[in-house]
A and B are shown apart, each in its own frame.
Chain A
Amino acid sequence: MLFNIAIKNLFGAKLRTSLNVFVTSISFFLVIFISGMYDGMREYAKNITIETEVAGGTYWHPGYDSMDPRTFEDSHSIIPNQIKKLIDQKYAFGVLISQASIYPNGRIMPVVMKGITPDQTIVNMPTNVLDQHNDIAIPVLIGSGMAKNANLKVGDSFTIRWLDADRTYDADEGTIVHIMETENFKLDLGNIWIPLSKAQSMLAMKNQATYVTYAKDLEAIKDIEDWIHHDIDYMIRDMEAIIKADEPGAQVMYSILLALAAMGIFNAQVLSIFRRGKEIGTLMALGMTRSRVVGLFTLEGGLNALLAGIITIILFGPVLFYFGENGIPLPMDYSEMGMLVAKRLIPIYSFSLIISTTILISIIVLVVSYIPSRKITKMKPTDALRGRAAV
């Protein structure tokens, strides 16, 4: 009986129901969307590192420490045979790192010079642009941040000075062949990329590399001499630590969003129920018991939440899907600040986010339906009939 009356009340009061459902639906959408954006931002840093830098994992020269530039000079050796085989099969590529100085526009800039296999397709970098430049002494690939800092554009030439394996300084002219747009600042700021063979020749380190990156889903090999294997988990451990450290912050933000949504729903629902004080009085006068009146209004709240869920899927589902696929462009490039933030932020709607949001908002709707209707039914029916209900 209550269900039939609740359905009749909901669909009979088109405007009231539309407003309540829309407010609840907007709350669903905003909580899922903004939390998804935040999750997406955190996941993005990890994903972009994997896509552009780590791939399946790496084999490092034993002396190499990516966080310590002082190790760069001596961290190179002939690539172990088993790893070399991977490179020959195009399942891996080597990178040779050295410190260098460049002199763009009469200035001196310390840089990290990285030799990379141009035809690699394992990480998302346009290294193929380094190939086929026989007319250029040293073809150079840089990121847009570096280009901006050094005031360089494609075709610009500058002197590169380096220290080779024989402890001899040498210099030659490098020419920008491409400026890449990358969201991983670690590939961009302070880095110049040149062909691996050219770097090996310049540094007198034939067949040598500092580290080798291998493709995703490839099993790690064991016979790697004294080189050290770092899997994907090791390579992104810092990101994972940052994400873990940020979890309380994410939970606080989620709670704030939920609280804001709750206030919106509370306003709409409470106003709607208190405006129906006379209706509640009439139902009581017609013989509906207090518990049934509370049950009816709580049930209406539950149906409201259900409708809101359906409307969210119909109305906002395509919006969530669109942004989930295409992301949202950010107004500024955060990579210049040394932050791994995408130029286009793609929200991630996890299953747990959707389920927890649905459950929590439904509970909020039920509570804000239950409390005011309970308060009104505790009044004398004569006062409720006069519409004397007040918050």
Chain B
Amino acid sequence: MENKNVINIKNLVKQFPVGGNYFTALQNIDLKLSEGEFIGLVGPSGSGKTTLLNIIGGLDSATEGSVSVLGNSMDNTSHNERAIIRRKHMGFIFQSYNLLPVYTVYENVELPLVLNNMEKAEREKKVTQAVEWVGLKDKINSKPADMSGGECQRTAIARAIVHEPALLLADEPTANLDAENSHNIMKILSKLNSEISTSFVFATHDEKIMGYLRRIIHLEDGKIINDEKISNPKST
């Protein structure tokens, strides 16, 4: 299952201007991720995991070094080119779900397909399938305000995977959920990982979900301090 590189990062440095100086959020990051991997960027708050995730997703850019995602160099690409890569090949899951409040579950999940100009009939088929994957068929016409946190996050997952992206980036997907919902979400994600060839990257410091990860990259003060392969994860 794990073969070609999905992410290839070399000597990545990310600095943010703070006052008159620069704060180094990431330094000397070298990282390779292969297709179908289910990995976690783990570390305490401020360790740089979300920044790294954003750079991989093209939401932010590196100060130094090179970043290649799905064969596309993210170093000198325009905002529009990065947006197109995200739209076609990536899915995002956010800590606070980021669902559009005026849309129903169906409409939220449908959005990436609408942005990809997919035909209505095909959209309907794919949305139904994605909603079934996350077990929200009975809530398909509900709006986020009428759903629990777990249901909202499952909707966000359905939205992230509906166009079957090559790479799914999840930033603290279980941080707002209780233990039961966290396990449910991780079970859904690991099941999806085994059923579709999507690679998963999590930024997390939630102990509950670490057991599902097959590779854990430990970050501290913007540096990778350990790259650990898990021999017997729950997700297998």
Contact = CB atoms under 8 A, between A and B. Distances in A.
Given A285-B86, A289-B79, A290-B80, A382 B102 contact: no
B31 interface: no
Interface stretch (B63-71, B106-114, B130-138): B106-114
A286 B87 contact: yes
Contacts of A284: 59, 83
B117 interface: yes
B196 interface: no
A385 interface: yes
Contact of A1 (B60, B86, B90, B115): B115
A9 B103 CA distance: 8
Given A278-B98, A279-B100, A385-B59, A287 B88 contact: yes
Contact of B79 (A5, A13, A290): A290
A282 B114 contact: no
A256 B114 CA distance: 43
B117 to A, nearest CB: 6
Contact of A5 (B87, B94, B112, B114): B114
Contacts of B94: 282, 285, 385
B212 interface: no
A8 B107 contact: yes
B83 A380 contact: no
A118 interface: no
Nearest to A290: B79
Given A278-B98, A279-B100, A288-B83, A382 B115 contact: no
Contacts of A9: 100, 102
Interface residues of A, number: 23
B84 interface: yes
Interface string A258-299: 000000000000000000001101101111111100000000
Contacts of B116: 287
Contact of B87 (A13, A278, A279, A287): A287
A4 interface: yes
B111 A286 contact: yes
Given A8-B107, A287-B84, A289-B80, A381 B59 contact: yes
B83 A287 contact: yes
B54 interface: yes
A338 interface: no
Nearest to B107: A8
Contact of B59 (A5, A279, A288, A382): A382
A289 B101 CA distance: 21
Given A8-B107, A380-B60, A288 B115 contact: yes
B117 A385 contact: no
A104 B84 CA distance: 93
B200 interface: no
Contacts of B202: none
Nearest to A287: B87
B114 A1 contact: yes
A273 to B, nearest CB: 14
A261 to B, nearest CB: 26
User: Chain A CB within 10 Å — which of B85, B90, B102, B115 has the most?
Assistant: B102
A382 B86 CA distance: 14
Interface in A1-41: 1, 4-5, 8-9, 12-13
B60 A385 contact: no
B114 A4 contact: yes
Contacts of B80: 289-291
B38 interface: no
A285 B86 CA distance: 7
B40 interface: no
B57 interface: yes
Contacts of A8: 102-103, 107
Interface in B94-152: 94, 98, 100-103, 107, 111-112, 114-117
Contacts of B103: 8, 12
Contacts of B112: 286-287
Contact of A13 (B57, B86, B90, B102): B102
Contacts of A385: 59, 94, 98
Contacts of B115: 1, 286-288
B100 A282 contact: yes
Contacts of B102: 8-9, 12-13
A289 B83 contact: yes
Contacts of A289: 79-80, 83-84
Contacts of A286: 86-87, 92, 111-112, 115, 159
A296 to B, nearest CB: 11
A285 B59 contact: yes
Nearest to A291: B80
A285 B87 CA distance: 8
Contacts of A281: 98
A203 B94 CA distance: 100
Interface string B190-203: 00000000000000
Nearest to A17: B102
A286 B54 CA distance: 13
Q: Which 10 A-B pairs have the closest CB atoms?
A: A287-B87, A12-B102, A287-B86, A13-B102, A282-B98, A381-B59, A289-B83, A289-B80, A285-B92, A287-B83
Given A8-B107, A9-B100, 4 more contacts: A284-B83, A285-B57, A288-B83, A289-B84
20 contacts: A1-B114, A1-B117, A8-B102, A8-B103, A9-B100, A9-B102, A12-B107, A278-B98, A285-B57, A285-B59, A285-B86, A286-B111, A287-B83, A287-B86, A287-B88, A287-B90, A289-B79, A289-B83, A381-B59, A382-B60
